[in-house]
Amino acid sequence: MDLKLKIWRQKSASERGKFVDYDLKNISSDSSFLEMLDVLNEELIGKGEEPVVFDHDCREGICGACGMYINGRPHGPDELITVCQLHMRKFNDGDTIVIEPFRARAFPVIKDLMVDRSAFDALIQEGGYISVSTGSAPDANAIPVQKKHADLAMDAASCIGCGACVAACKNASAMLFVSAKVSHLALLPQGKVESKKRTWEMVAKMDALGFGNCTNTGACEAECPKGIKLTNIARMNREYYKSSFS
């Protein structure tokens, strides 16, 4: 298939960016979106031009590094996938594809399509872990955990920190990400010891980093490649209210 690409090019966070048009021909519908960008970059390098910078690592939908806006949607026109899992068969011959970086004050552009998502690392450092001594690994059935709680914790823990929730939100809120981290620990016995402190400090850090507030429009859940549910935000809010009265 032949495609017209409109790609955001920006040399650094301090410089103004712009869309640049590129034409690609004979792209296989079986190739992934990132493989299509690889083809473009090979052509640009062959012409002596600077390749398009984009973030990626595993290319298996695990790491969450490959976030970008494609035709107005984080991760593109498919459901429950990352960009590396998006295939060109989702597009048609002759299509124009608009590609740009995630837009959020807390995710400044590094270059072209790559943004700095270290704000998520800072959020995790504020409490997205267990620091109390829980001893050595116990037998699997030593600490009873209700199956429904185990299932909910595992669902929340599937968050890969890609940032699509922030990019999709009109307020650039990180509530879905933070609530997933709070939920998967608050639902398990080992995480309950620090649950109040964790929630209070992670929410405070989220505000300090410049993320917006949640208005429950649901765009975050709709665009999340792992299907993290809004119910996690409700759980985090309950944990937050409990922590404010402790």
Mean pLDDT (whole number) for 143-161: 93
pLDDT of amino acid 203: 94
Mean pLDDT to the nearest integer, 153-158? 95
pLDDT at 10: 97
Asked if residue 185 lies in contact with residue 195, where contact means CB atoms within 8 angstroms, the answer is yes
C-alpha to C-alpha distance for 199 and 128, rounded to whole angstroms: 9
pLDDT confidence band for 131 (50 / 70 / 90): confident
pLDDT (tens digit per residue) in 52-62: 999 999 999 99
Domain locations in the chain as residue ranges: 3-111, 117-244
Fold of 3-111: Ubiquitin-like (UB roll) (3.10.20)
Cβ distance 175 to 214 under 8 Å?
yes
3-state secondary structure of 226: coil
- How does pLDDT run across 102-128, given as a tens digit for each residue? 999 999 999 999 999 999 999 999 988
- Residue 246: what pLDDT? 61
Which pLDDT score is estimated for 134?
Answer: 64
Question: Among residues 188, 163, 191, which one has the least CA distance to residue 177?
Answer: 163
**Domain topology for 117-244:** Fumarate Reductase Iron-sulfur Protein; Chain B, domain 2 (1.10.1060)
pLDDT at 190: 85
CA distance 13 to 211: 18
31 — phi, psi (to 5°)? -75, 155
Q: Is the pLDDT of residue 63 over 90?
A: yes
User: How far, in Å, CA of 179 to CA of 192, rounded?
Assistant: 14
| Integer Cα distance of 84 and 237 in angstroms | 33
Q: Do domains 3-111 and 117-244 have the same CATH topology?
A: no
